[in-house]
DNA sequence: GATGAATGAGATTTCATTCAT
DNA sequence: AATGAATGAAATCTCATTCAT
C-alpha cells in the first residue's frame, strides 16, 4: 500500500489498478506455494493456479520464476529494513533496541508464516539470488551498529567482536524461526513471547549466573 | 576409515572392498558437486563424472539422487553425534563442554568445507529428507542436556529455558558457518578461533557488562 | 467426424478447434507408428515426429504413452461398438446379423489397416490396459446375444454354448485379421470377401457335409 | 528330457549335466516371469532372480533376452508339432483328427498355463521373432491338411477354402486360450472339456440347425 | 492484459549387455 | 561355470519459457 505510491502508475484508471492487483495476487500466491513446496519443486503453473490466472500471465509481470522469488524477497525485506531503521534511530538504550529488533523478526512469523518460511528456507542460503546479498547484509549491519552503540555507551562489553556478535544474534533468531517453520518448536503466542525474552536474556545476560545475581 | 572396520564385509575378497571404495568415491564426489552447484542444480551426471564412473553405477549403490544426499547427511551426521556424545560424557564442567561442542562444529568447516556447505545449505532446512529430522534433533538434545547440567550444577541460570537456549547456541553456530560458506565472513584459522571464543563468550557471559566485571 | 458434433466445445473460437485437431493429429500419428514398430518399441519422439509436433505437446494432451494407446483403443472401439449395436438392433435374421458383424470387423482392415494392426497386436492381449477389459467384453456380448437370438428363433442349434460360440466367432475373425496384419495371409479385395463368406459358412454351416446337401 | 538326448553332451560327467540343468532352470524361470509380467516388461534380472542365478549367467547360455523367448517358443512348439504330426499320421477319420488337434492345444493349458500364456501373448503376434514364422505356419498346415483330407474323403464340404478354414479353427482355439489366460473365461476341467466339444461341434456341424437334425 | 497451446532443452532413471575376477 | 560391478545408450517425462491469438 504505502509501497504503491512509489510505483509508476501509468494512469489512475482501473486498468492500472487492476494490473497491480494481479501482480500482487501472483506474488502472494508465490509465497504460499514456495512455502508449501519449496522454490525448486514449485512449478510456475502451481503459482498461476494458486493465483487463479493463466501461467502465461506470470511472464507479463516477471521475467522468470527466479525473479518472482527475488521480488518476494526484495519487497518484503525492504519493509523489514525500514522497521529496523526506525528502531535503530529511536532514542532507546542499546539493549532495548536489540529487543526491538528481535521482536520485529519474531513477530513477523505470527503475521505471515508463509513469508517467513520462504525467507528462511529459500532466500537466506541460496547463492544465486544476486540482489539479496547486499540487502541481507544491511540487516546484519543494523544489529552490529546497535551492539557497537551499546559498547560505546559502556553497556555492552567492549572486548567482544561486534560483527560476530551480530551474526550470533541473527543466527539465534533465524534458528528459532526455522524451528517454527519446520514444526520442531512450538509456536503459540506464549512461546513467541518467551522466545523474545530468552534470546535477549541469553544474548545480553549470558547463560552464566553471576555471583551477585545469585 | 574407522568406519571400514565396523562395516560388514560380505566376502573377504577384494571385490567387496573395491565396491565399497566406489561407493565412497561416489559419496565424496557428490559432496563436492552439491557444494559447488547446490543439490537441485546438480545433475546425476555431474556426480558420476566427478567420481570418474558411469552415471549408471550411481544407481547400483543408491536408489536415487535424493538417497545420495540423504546418505551423505546420515553417515556424516552420525560421526558428529558420536563426537558430541564423547564431549557430553566427559567430566568437564558445563561451560567447557559447551566450548567442546562449539569447537567440534566450527572446526569441521576447516576440515571439510564442502561437507559443511552441503549440510548447512541443503540438509538443514529441507523438509523432504525424512531420516534427518530425528537425527538433527539429537544434536540439539545434547546441547540442551549440557545446558541443563550447567543449571543443575548452579553454573548456568536456572530461570532460562534450556531448550530455547540450545536453539540459540546451535543457531549461532550455523549462522557463522553459513557466513563462511557464503563467503560473507572471513574464515581464516584466526577467525575460526575467534568465533569459538566469541560464541562461548556471548552465550555464557552475555553482551552486557556486569557492574563487577567493569 | 461424426464425433466432432458430439464433443464439448469449450469456446466457439478456432482455438479449441485447432487444439482438437492437434489431438487427433497425434492420435493418428500414434496409430501409424504403433502399427509400424509396435507399442513397446515406439518412442514418444517417433509419434511426435510423425505428427509434426514437439514431443512435449503429446504430454499436453495425454498423460503418458500408455494413455495414448488406451485412447486409440477406446475411441475407436467405441465406434465399432456403435456399429455393432446398429446391426444387433436391425430386423435381420440371426445369421445375417452374424454376417453383418463379421463384415464390420473384416472391412475395417481395408479402411484402416494400421488401426487394425494396433488393435490386434497391442491391445487385444495386453493386461495393463484397464479400460479395455469391459469394452472388449461388450463386443463379445453382442455376438453372443445374436447367437442366442438365433437359438431362440430356432435357426441355431440350442444345445450349443452361446458364450463359447461367440468366442469362436470372434477368434476366427481376429486370427484372419492377424494373418493379414502379419502378411501371412493374402488380403486383396477378393480375399476379404472370401474370408467373410468362409467364416459365416463354416461357423453357420459347419465343415461337415450333411447328407441332404450332398 | 527326451529332448536332451538330441543335444550335444560334451561329457557324460556332472559338469555338463549341471550346466544343462541350469539352462533349463533359466528357461523355466523365463516362462514364469514372461507369463507374469509380459516379455517387454520383464527384466533379465527378474528371470535370473526367479531362477536363482546371477543375471550374468543368462548370457552364458543365451545371447540375449530375445533369444530366451525364441528358445522358449522353439523348444516347446517343436514338441507340439510332434504331437500334431502323430495325430495327422494316425488312421482316424478327419473329424476325429480335428478333435485330436484341438485337445492337444487346449489341454496344454491345464498342464502349463504359464507356457500357454507366453505363447499366446508374446509369440503369436510379435513380428520380431524370426524363426517362429515358419514354425507357426507348420501348425496351420497340419490343420489345413487334415481338413483337406476330410474334403478328399467326402466328409467335409469341398467348396470351403481349406486354408481359411484352418485359420478359423486355429483362431477359435487361440481365442479361448486367450480368454483363459486373461481370466475372462472360466477354465475348470469341465469348461475345458466343454470347450473341446463346442469347438469341434461348431466347426464341424455349424451353428445352423439342419432340418433333419431337428 | 490474458490465455493456454506449443516448444524443446534437459533431467532422472532403467536395464540389456559386457567383462574382470 | 558363475558372479555382480560397471557401462552407457536410450527412453520417458517435466516444466520454464515463448508467442499467436
Please report all neighbours of D, defined by 3+ CB atom pairs within 8 A.
Answer: C
Cβ proximity of C174 and C124 under 8 Å: yes
Residue A198: the pLDDT is: 96
Does residue A210 come out as left (phi exceeding 0), alpha (psi in the -120 to 50 range) or beta?
A: beta
| Strand F proximal residues, D:40-59, Cβ < 7 Å | 53-57, 59
CB D168 within 8 A of CB D115: no
Give the CA-to-C1' distance from C7 to F11 in angstroms.
33
Q: What is the mean pLDDT of residues A16-29?
A: 86
Lowest model confidence (mean pLDDT) among B115-129, C75-89, D98-112, D143-157: B115-129
Q: State pLDDT tens for residues C90-102.
A: 999 999 999 999 9
Inspect the interface and report whether the beta carbons of D168 and C172 lie closer than 8 Å.
yes
Mean pLDDT of chain B: 88
- Closest partner residue to D208 (CB to CB) among C125, C175, C205 is C205
As a whole-number percent, the residues of chain B with pLDDT over 70 amount to: 90
Residue pair D201/C160 in contact by the 8 Å Cβ criterion: yes
pLDDT above 60 for D5: no
pLDDT band at C132 (very low <50, low <70, confident <90, very high): confident
**pLDDT at residue C149 is higher than 70:** yes
Residue nearest to nucleotide E2 (CA to C1'): A57
Given an 8 Å threshold on Cβ–Cβ distance, is A212 in contact with B207? Answer: no
pLDDT value of position C133: 77
% of chain D surpassing 70 pLDDT: 89
pLDDT score of D48: 97
pLDDT of residue A144 exceeding 60: yes
CA distances from A116 to A112, B138, C70, C145, D128 (A): 7, 25, 46, 68, 60
The confidence score (pLDDT) of residue D71 equals 95
Nucleotide nearest to B18 (CA to C1'): F5
A40-93 per-position pLDDT tens digit: 999 999 999 999 999 999 999 999 999 999 999 999 999 999 999 999 999 999
Residue D118: its chain C contacts at CB < 8 A? none
Q: What percent of chain A has pLDDT over 70?
A: 90
Strand partners for C156: D208
Mean pLDDT of B110-115: 95
Write out pLDDT tens, residues D73-97.
999 999 999 999 999 999 999 999 9
Q: Find where cell 564412473 sits.
A: B53
- Give the chain A residue nearest B121 (alpha carbons): A125
φ, ψ for residue B62, nearest 5 deg: -135, 150
Size of interface C-D (CB pairs under 8 A): 171
Q: Which of D207, D77, D169, D57 is nearest to D132 (CA)?
A: D77
Chosen for mutation from A202, A205, A211 (greatest number of chain B CBs closer than 10 Å) is A202
Distance CA B62, CA B27 (A): 10
The domains of chain B, with CATH numbers, are: 1-62 (1.10.10.60), 69-214 (1.10.357.10)
Interatomic distance C66 CA / E5 C1' (Å): 22
Model confidence pLDDT, tens digit, residues B57-96: 999 999 999 999 999 999 999 999 999 999 999 999 999 9
Tell me which residues of chain B, numbers 114 to 133, contact chain A at a CB-CB cutoff of 8 Å: 120-121, 124-128, 133
Determine the Cα–Cα distance for residues B187 and D84; give it in Å rounded to an integer.
86
User: Going along chain A, which residue ranges are E strands?
Assistant: none
Q: What are the beta bridge partners of residue D156?
A: C208
Best residue of C95, C122, C152, C164 to probe chain D, by most D CBs closer than 10 Å: C164
Q: Which of residues 60-99 of D touch strand F (CB under 7 A)?
A: 60-61
pLDDT at D12: 47
pLDDT-derived band at C197 (thresholds 50, 70, 90) equals very high
Asked if C210 and D212 come within 8 Å (Cβ–Cβ), the reply is: yes
Cell numbers for D178, please give them. 486367450
Give the nucleotide nearest to D66 (CA→C1'): E16
Residue C3 confidence (pLDDT) above 80: no
Three cell numbers, residue A51:
493465483
The whole-number pLDDT of residue C165 equals 94
Quick check: D168 and C121 CB within 8 A? no
Show residues of chain B in contact with A38, CB under 8 Å: 126-128
Instruction: Report whether pLDDT(C153) > 80.
Output: yes
Q: Please check the confidence at residue C1 and state whether its pLDDT lies above 50.
A: no
Q: What is the pLDDT of residues C38-86, one digit of tens each?
A: 999 999 999 999 999 999 999 999 999 999 999 999 999 999 999 999 9
Which of residues 140 through 199 in chain A touch B, CB cutoff 8 A? 147, 150, 154-158, 160-161, 163-165, 167-168, 170-176, 178-179, 181-182, 184-185, 194-195, 198-199
Q: Which subunits sit against A, judged by 3+ Cβ pairs under 8 A?
A: B
Separation in Å, CA of A17 to nearest CA in chain B: 37
Residues 58-117 of C with CB under 7 A from strand F: 59, 63-66
Structure confidence at residue D134 (pLDDT): 82
The least confident of C127-136, C185-194, D55-64 is C127-136
Mean pLDDT within D3-13: 45
Residue D13 has pLDDT above 50, yes or no: no
Chain F bases having any atom below 7 Å from a protein CB: 1-21
User: What is the residue-wise DSSP string for C86-137?
Assistant: HHHHSS--HHHHHHHHHHHHHHHHHH-HHHHHHIIIIITT-TT-TTHHHHHH
What pLDDT sits at residue B31? 97
pLDDT value of residue A16: 57
pLDDT of residue A210 exceeding 70, the answer is yes
Q: Which of residues 42-81 of B touch strand F (CB under 7 A)?
A: 53-57, 59-60
**Residue-level pLDDT at C15:** 53
Residue B158 has pLDDT above 50, yes or no: yes
Q: How many Å from the CA of C89 to C1' of E15?
A: 52
Distance of residue D117 Cα from the nearest chain C Cα, in angstroms: 10
CB proximity C13–strand F (7 Å threshold)? yes
Mean pLDDT of chain A: 88
Using CA atoms, how far residue B46 sits from B32, B66, B82, D186, in Å, is 10, 14, 31, 55
Residue B208 zone, left/alpha/beta (φ > 0; ψ -120 to 50; rest): beta
What's the rounded mean pLDDT across residues D49-68?
A: 96
Amino acid at each position: 500500500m504505502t509501497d504503491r505510491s512509489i510505483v509508476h502508475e501509468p494512469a489512475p484508471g482501473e486498468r492500472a489498478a487492476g494490473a497491480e492487483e494481479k501482480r500482487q495476487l501472483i506474488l502472494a500466491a508465490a509465497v504460499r506455494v514456495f512455502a508449501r513446496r519449496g522454490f525448486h519443486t514449485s512449478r510456475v503453473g502451481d503459482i498461476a493456479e494458486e493465483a487463479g490466472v493463466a501461467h502465461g500471465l506470470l511472464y507479463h509481470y516477471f521475467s522468470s520464476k527466479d525473479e518472482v522469488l527475488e521480488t518476494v524477497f526484495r519487497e518484503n525485506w525492504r519493509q523489514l529494513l525500514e522497521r529496523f531503521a526506525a528502531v535503530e534511530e529511536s532514542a532507546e538504550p542499546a539493549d532495548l533496541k536489540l529487543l526491538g529488533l528481535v521482536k520485529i523478526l519474531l513477530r513477523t512469523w505470527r503475521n505471515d508464516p508463509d513469508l517467513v518460511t520462504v525467507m528462511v528456507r529459500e532466500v537466506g542460503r541460496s547463492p544465486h539470488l544476486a540482489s539479496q546479498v547486499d540487502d541481507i547484509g544491511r540487516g546484519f549491519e543494523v544489529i552490529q551498529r546497535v551492539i557497537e552503540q551499546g559498547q560505546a555507551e559502556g553497556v555492552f562489553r567492549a572486548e567482544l567482536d561486534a560483527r560476530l556478535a551480530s551474526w550470533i544474534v541473527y543466527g539465534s533468531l533465524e534458528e528459532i524461526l526455522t524451528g517454527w517453520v519446520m514444526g520442531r518448536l512450538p509456536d503459540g503466542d506464549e512461546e513467541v513471547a518467551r522466545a523474545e525474552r530468552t534470546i535477549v536474556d541469553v544474548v545480553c545476560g549470558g547463560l552464566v549466573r553471576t555471583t551477585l545475581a545469585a
